[in-house]
């Protein structure tokens, strides 16, 4: 059946442009789109943005450092970061925010590199803090660190290639002629399209000594000199020879890191002062908080971040009797205090990304550095040969200085001076130009003889340089001397300590609390029973202490938290898993004793807060009610006791959790009742709020009880229901009284 033409089809038929556009879109193959549009973008990200090259830098790093070098910031004083950012935009068109972020990462203040290249002043944030943001570029100052002299050494001696910047107004280097293997010294992370790079940092001295050993013997054992990665945040690296050897050989693998800590016996606390490079202080605090909330970490009473100008410090307060070694072993196992650095040594070599092991990286760096030294030597050789050529021309003038003076003096036109000297002495144009430019005061035998003495020296130096160019061993010796100079001037001790597996205390496995449903019974006398469904089905009548009665009951889980409110305006927190299972015939646990309440303090109400998203309805004797958010009782640490849990302005007479709005009934001492919806009360974040008036009370009258309407005996609800508060309510009728319902029920049973 032919398809019925639509209005769109008619529009396309009448508009040839629409038809042409539609045809163009339909005819384009997806493979063509990928090849023409996507692949150039992907290659640009890989080659020009995300993957570091053999000098250890990405293009953004290189552009920034070279700009600072040209600004004279290697030897001069600091300048405003905003000035540096503005100048760098001549090479980097990605905007000031991206450039400043690059500067922050390279800075000494941020502490992301073992050998920072930017000497910073001001707030540059910290690599170990997720939330500590750096100051704006107009407030901070920077210059190049002294080690940058090794990055730009002989950069003007043709050691590296230069290319046009993005608008062809100036030149920039394609690589920086680093005199040490910076690619292994500086940590580098980049995410490209379809690939990534994650290079850990190694100690500068260890890298240089390893390179020196490699120059002598390419098959040397790298692990003898390159002991393990070294990170700027310190901490400890767990020495696992097999894992390290895999990283060294393949460029892939992982290295385990963990924090460093100390125990203060006097204060009974642990101070964590160095953390793994792969995490942040906030991530550690968040994880510990989660473990404390879920009851998996009961040994900690409080944890806080006391980081200041002296450095990182996370303080953990321990409960009495806790073994700090065992606790830290547990924290290492369950938190980012122990983490792994996933290595992926992906580096651009001649524009091609390659994943290489340490030995292969050293091989590539050595070849590249030897070529840089060879180019530097060749540039120096060319200059000396040019100088020698000029001096040899000057030597011919020595044969007859008077003749040279006469030729210059007798030449009528200035442009004929150089040709006449060339003819008179048989020298070329360059030599003649040099002779012609000599000052009149220097045309004496003493000056010329001194210049001629340089010829022998130059010839010796040229012969030596030519030998260097032909001898790889001598080039390696030059590289070795440069590495020794770097070690002598810039070497620093390891920041990341090495620990061996046999030194590590293993965490003891603790059985987790079983998660099963329970029913909670709480009495007015402060007793609580936790009964499983099976036990509840098999049991008979609930047993209570003489004179005691049920306050409330609710279903929960064994792993649920429990909030216990007392008559001292305090709230105690515990977990049901910490309380024993009971039977109906038992009295249960006495909460004031179980929770170690203050002397004379009594438990009034209990509540399962769930995920702390609900609220509590609190009713006071003075007729006021407060709806408080449960999130106000949520704590980041395993605190057992909260003071100021509710207002102390009037005695508390009622307590109901509000997971969703419902109607509540309030009874007063003068036999009145008010029925209102909890939706009339807005939740307050402050725990000890006094609330709002719900019941209008006469003098010497008080509120006596708060109950859910569904749990009362009220028949004619409309008589007591109010649409706004406060309200006086209505007198209770006999049929709505609780006592009347009970007497009728008793009479039915007797009948």
Query: In the structure encoding, which two tokens stand for residue 677, read together?
Result: 């919806």
Kindly write down the DSSP assignment for every residue of 261-276, as one continuous string.
Answer: EEEETTTTEEEEEE--
Q: Please tell me which residue in 139, 166, 500, 516 is annotated as part of the active site.
A: 139
Q: For residue 409, give the nearest of 449, 433, 440 by alpha carbon.
A: 440
For 78, residues 6+ apart whose C-beta sits below 8 A from its C-beta are 119, 121, 141, 142, 143
Q: Are 353 and 43 in contact (CB under 8 A)?
A: no
Instruction: Convert 110-131 to b/e letters by CB count within 10 Å (16 or more is b).
Output: bbbbbbbbbbbebbbbbbbbee
How far is residue 352's CA from residue 362's CA, in Å, rounded to a whole number?
17
Q: Report the residue count for the chain.
A: 751
How far is residue 751's CA from residue 733's CA, in Å, rounded to a whole number?
25
Query: In the structure encoding, which two tokens stand for residue 362, read together?
Result: 């050293």
Query: In the structure encoding, which two tokens stand for residue 722, read together?
Result: 């109010």
Helix axes 281-293, 324-334, angle to 10 degrees: 100
Strand order from edge to edge, sheet including 527-531: 550-557, 517-523, 527-531, 589-590
**Residue 68: cis peptide before it, omega within 30 degrees of 0:** no
For this structure, is 139 an active site residue? yes
Q: Are 644 and 569 in contact (CB under 8 A)?
A: yes
Instruction: Please name every residue paired with 251 in a beta bridge, in sequence order, or none if there are none.
Output: none
What one-character DSSP code corresponds to residue 684?
A: B
For 74, residues 6+ apart whose C-beta sits below 8 A from its C-beta are 68, 143, 144, 148, 149, 152
Q: Are 401 and 443 in contact (CB under 8 A)?
A: yes
Helix axes 472-490, 204-216, angle to 10 degrees: 160
Please list the active-site residues: 139
């Amino acid at each position: 059946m032919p398809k019925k033409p639509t209005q769109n089809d008619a529009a396309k038929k009448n508009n040839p442009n629409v038809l042409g556009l539609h045809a163009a879109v339909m005819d384009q193959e997806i493979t063509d789109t990928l090849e023409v549009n996507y692949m150039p973008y992907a290659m640009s990200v890989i080659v020009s943005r995300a993957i570091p090259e053999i000098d250890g830098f990405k293009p953004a790093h290189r552009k920034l450092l070279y700009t600072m070098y040209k600004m004279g910031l290697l030897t001069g004083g600091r300048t405003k970061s905003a000035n540096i950012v503005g100048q760098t935009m001549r090479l980097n068109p990605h905007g000031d925010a991206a450039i400043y972020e690059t500067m922050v990462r390279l800075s000494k203040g941020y502490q992301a590199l073992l050998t920072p290249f930017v000497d910073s002043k001001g707030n540059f944030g910290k690599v170990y803090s997720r939330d500590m943001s750096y100051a704006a570029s107009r407030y901070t100052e920077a210059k190049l660190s002294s080690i940058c002299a090794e990055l730009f050494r002989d950069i003007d001696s043709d050691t590296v290639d230069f290319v046009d910047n993005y608008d062809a107004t100036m030149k920039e280097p394609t690589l920086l002629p680093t005199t040490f293997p910076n690619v292994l010294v500086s940590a580098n992370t980049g995410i490209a399209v379809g690939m990534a790079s994650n290079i850990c940092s190694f100690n500068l001295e260890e890298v240089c000594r390893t390179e020196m050993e490699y120059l002598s013997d390419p098959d040397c054992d790298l692990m003898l000199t390159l002991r393990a990665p070294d990170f700027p945040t310190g901490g400890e690296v767990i020495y696992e020879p097999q894992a390290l050897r895999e990283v060294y050989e393949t460029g892939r693998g992982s290295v385990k890191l963990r924090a460093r800590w100390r125990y203060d016996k006097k204060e009974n606390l642990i101070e964590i002062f160095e953390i793994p490079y792969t995490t942040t202080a906030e991530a550690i605090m968040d994880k510990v908080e989660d473990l404390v909330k879920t009851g998996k970490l009961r040994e900690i009473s409080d944890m806080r971040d006391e980081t200041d100008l002296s450095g990182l410090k996370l303080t953990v307060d321990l409960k009495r009797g806790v073994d700090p070694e065992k606790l830290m072993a547990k924290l290492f196992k369950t938190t980012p205090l122990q983490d792994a650095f996933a290595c992926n040594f992906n580096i651009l070599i001649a524009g091609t990304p390659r994943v290489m092991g340490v030995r292969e990286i050293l091989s590539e760096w050595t070849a590249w550095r030897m070529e840089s030294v060879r180019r530097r030597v060749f540039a120096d050789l060319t200059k000396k040969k040019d100088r020698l050529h000029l001096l040899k021309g000057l030597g011919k003038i020595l044969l007859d200085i008077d003749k040279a003076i006469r030729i210059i003096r007798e030449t009528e036109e200035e442009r004929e001076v150089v040709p006449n000297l060339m003819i008179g002495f048989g020298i070329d144009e360059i030599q003649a130009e040099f002779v012609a430019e000599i000052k009149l005061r220097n045309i004496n035998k003493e000056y010329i003889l001194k210049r001629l003495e340089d010829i022998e020296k130059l010839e010796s130096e040229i012969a030596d340089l030519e030998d260097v160019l032909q001898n790889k061993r001598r080039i390696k010796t030059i590289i070795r001397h440069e590495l020794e100079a770097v070690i002598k001037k810039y070497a620093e001790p390891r920041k990341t300590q090495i620990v061996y597996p046999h030194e590590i205390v293993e965490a003891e496995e603790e059985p987790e609390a079983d998660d099963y449903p329970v029913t909670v019974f709480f009495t007015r006398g402060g007793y609580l029973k936790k009964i499983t469904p099976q036990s509840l089905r098999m049991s008979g009548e609930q047993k209570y202490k003489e004179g005691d009665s049920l306050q409330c009951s609710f279903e929960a889980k064994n792993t649920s938290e429990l909030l216990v409110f007392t008559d001292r305006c305090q709230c105690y927190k515990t977990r049901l898993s910490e309380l024993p299972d009971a039977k109906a015939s038992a009295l249960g646990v006495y909460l004031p004793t179980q929770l170690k309440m203050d002397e004379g303090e009594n438990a009034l109400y209990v509540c399962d807060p769930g995920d702390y998203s609900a609220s509590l309805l609190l009713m006071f004797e003075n007729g006021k009610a407060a709806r408080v958010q449960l999130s106000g009782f949520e704590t980041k640490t395993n605190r057992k006791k909260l003071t100021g849990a509710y207002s102390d302005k009037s005695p508390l007479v009622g307590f109901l959790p509000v997971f969703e709005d419902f109607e509540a009934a309030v009874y007063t001492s003068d036999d009145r009742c008010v029925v209102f919806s909890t939706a009339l009360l807005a939740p307050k974040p402050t725990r000890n709020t006094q609330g709002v008036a719900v019941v209008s009370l006469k003098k010497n009258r008080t509120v006596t009880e708060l109950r859910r309407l569904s749990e009362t005996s009220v028949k004619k609800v409309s008589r007591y229901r109010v649409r706004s508060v406060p309200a006086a309510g209505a007198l209770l009728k006999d049929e709505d009284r609780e006592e009347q319902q009970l007497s009728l029920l008793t009479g039915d049973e007797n009948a």
